[in-house]
Structure 1
Amino acid sequence: MEPILDNHLHLDPDHGRGIEAVKDFSRSGGTHLLVVNKPSWHLGDLPDAGADFEHIFETTLGAVAEATDVLSGRAWPVLGVHPGLISQLTDAGHSPAEAGGIMRAGLDLAAEYVADGAALGLKSGRPHYEVSDAVWKASNDVLKHALALGAENDCAVQLHTEGSEDLTEIADWAEERGLSAHRVVKHYANGRLKGPTPSVICDKDELRRAAEGDEPFMMETDFIDDPQRPGAVMGPKTVPRRVNWLREEGFEGAMHSAHVETPEDIYGIDTVGTLAERS
C-alpha cells in the first residue's frame, strides 16, 4: 500500500460526520490526514482572548486521535485562526486592530500546541473577499505573525488567502522572518503557484496541471464536515479516487512526491514509516 494524504480537511465530531467521514476516506484507500480546526464561529461563541480558542483546538485534537485509530496510517492536527474571523469580530463591534490582536493571541496558543508536539503546523491567512484597507492591513499583520511563529517553532504554516497563482509577496515575508517559503502552504490552490507550496484542490484539471509540472505540490479536499452542506467542499473519498486516476494517467512519480516526499520536506512527517508501523 502506498500512502495517500489529504493535506487539508475538517472534522466536526459533535455536529458533522466526524469519524464516519474518516472511515469513508480509509475505505477508499486513504491513509493519512491533516485535520485543520474548523473556524471558531462554527464551534461556539466569538473569542475575546487567546484562551477562548482552547476548546476549538482540543476538539480538533480529539478528532485527530479518533481518526488515527481508524486509519492505516495516521492523522495530524494543524491549528490556527481562520482569516475570516476578522470580519466576524469587526461586525461584532471590534476595531480591526482589536480583532487582529485577538487573532494573534489565538495563533500564540496554537503555537504552544506545536511547541509541545501536540500539533504539526499552524493555519492563518487573509480574507479572500473585499475588505476595507484597515481590515486588510490588520489581516496581513496577523498573517505575518503566523509566519514568524512558524519560524520560531520550526513548523509549516497553511494559508487561506485570495485566489492567486502568484503569492511571492507572502513567500518573501516568510523568508524575511526565517521561515523557508516552501514551508508556507497555500490551501485550496490551483495547479501552479509562485511562492508557497500549493495544496491543490482536487479538481481534475488543476491536478493534471500540477502533475505535469515539476514543482512540489500536495492534494486536498477541504471537506468541511458541515451537516447543512453535506459533501462540501469535496467529499472525503475524493483524494484517494483522484490519486488512483492520476496513477492510471501515468503520474505515479508525481503521486509519490505529493504523498511521501513533499509532506516529509514540508512537515517532517514520514508517511511510509507511519504506514509500516501500523501494518
Structure 2
Amino acid sequence: MEHLETPVLDNHLHLDRTHGRGIDAVRDFANLGGTHLLVVNKPSWHHGVEATEGADFHAVFEETIDTVAAANDVLPGRAWPVLGVHPGLVSRLVEERGFTPPEARDVMQAGLDAAAEYVAAGDALALKSGRPHYEVSEAVWEASNEVMRHAFSLGADLDCAVQLHTEATEDLTEVAEWAEAAGMERKKVVKHYAAGRLAGPTPSVMSEKDRLERAAESGDPFLMETDFVDDADRPGAVLGPKTVPRRVRWMLGEELDDAVEIAHVETPRDVYGIDTRETLTR
C-alpha cells in the first residue's frame, strides 16, 4: 500500500490483550499507515475491578501502560496512555453496589487522583473523565459534574489534557468554562466521540466521513478517533483500528490536506504537547 507522508494519530481507542485483539489491532493500524495512538484504559469493571478506593484502579492503569509499551514495539511512531475513570462507574456504584451519589463521587475522584500520579511521573499523557451520556437522577448528575471538575483541577495542576466522555452535544461551553475556572486552557479539554463541530472544548471527531467533512470545513482544531473497544464479544463495536488511516487517505484524496495537518500534527501538539513528526521513526 502506498506510503503516507503524514503522521496518523487515533486519539481515543482501547486495547485489550486478554479479551480482544490487543497488539494485532495495533499491527492492523500500522499496516494501513497509522503511526500514533492514545490508548485509554477500559472501564475498571471490564478488568474485573470493583473499586472502593483509589488504589483499586492501579491494576487497570498498569495494564494499560504495559499494553502501550507493547504497542510501541509495533508502531512507526508511538503510543501514550490516557488514564482515568469512566463516568458510567457512577451508575454501577449507585445502582448495583448501594453507594450514595456522594460516596460514588469520592471513589471516582480517588481514582482520578491515582491516575494523576502516573501523569505526574511521566507514565501517562492525559486524564480521562466526564459524565453519563444517558438519563440519571439529579443527585447522580451533580456528583458526576463534581468528579469532572476534580479532573479539571488535576489537569490544571499537572498541565495536562483531560479527555471527556459526555452526552452527545455540539455545545459544551459551560464545561469549558469550568475547566478555565480550575486553571486549565479550554483547548486542553477534549470531547471524545464528538460530531464535526463543537463549542467549548477541542473535539475528538468520530472518523465517519460526514463528521470529518464538517470538521475540515470549519478550519478549527480537531482530532480523529475510532473509540475501538477491542472486545471479542463485540467485534464490530464502534469503529475498527484501520479506520483512521483509511480516512486520512480519503481526506488526502479529497484535497483536505490542511485538515489532516490540523488533526494529526497541530492539534496534538497544542493539546497534548506531543510532536507527531519528531516521534516518527520510519
Residues 1:21 and 2:25 aligned together: yes
1:46 CA displacement: 1.1
Structure 1 residue aligned with 2:187, among 177, 182, 187? Answer: 182
Residues 1:34 and 2:38 aligned together: yes
Using the alignment, how far apart are the partners of 2:240 and 2:139 within structure 1? 36
Identity of paired residues, percent? 66
Which residue of 1 is the match for residue 271 of structure 2?
266
Per-residue CA deviation, residues 170-225 of structure 1 (Å, 9 max, x unaligned), is 00000001000010000000000000000000111011000111210000000000
1:14 CA displacement: 1.2
SS across alignment from 2:190: strand
Per-residue CA deviation, residues 48-73 of structure 1 (Å, 9 max, x unaligned), is 10000000000000110000100000
Counting only pairs closer than 5 Å after superposition, residues 116-265 of structure 1 correspond to structure 2 as: 116-265=121-270
Check the 8 A contact 2:26/2:71 in 1, yes or no. yes
**Code of the aligned partner of 1:183:** K
**Code of the aligned partner of 1:158:** Q
Check the 8 A contact 1:40/1:56 in 2, yes or no. yes
Structure 2 residue aligned with 1:66, among 70, 88, 96? Answer: 70
Count of aligned residue pairs for this structure pair = 277
Using the alignment, how far apart are the partners of 1:68 and 1:212 within structure 2? 33
**Code of the aligned partner of 1:249:** E
SS across alignment from 1:274: coil
Which residue of 2 is the match for residue 10 of structure 1?
14
Moved over 2 A (4+): none
Per-residue CA deviation, residues 224-253 of structure 1 (Å, 9 max, x unaligned), is 001110032100000000011011111001
SS across alignment from 1:111: helix
TM-score (structure 2 length as normaliser) = 0.97
1:45 CA displacement: 2.9
Check the 8 A contact 1:40/1:46 in 2, yes or no. yes
Using the alignment, how far apart are the partners of 1:189 and 1:90 within structure 2? 27
Check the 8 A contact 2:251/2:257 in 1, yes or no. yes
Structure 1 residue aligned with 2:120, among 97, 115, 118? Answer: 115
Using the alignment, how far apart are the partners of 1:241 and 1:231 within structure 2? 17
| Structure 1: gaps of 5 or more residues | none
Using the alignment, how far apart are the partners of 2:210 and 2:259 within structure 1? 15
Check the 8 A contact 1:183/1:266 in 2, yes or no. yes
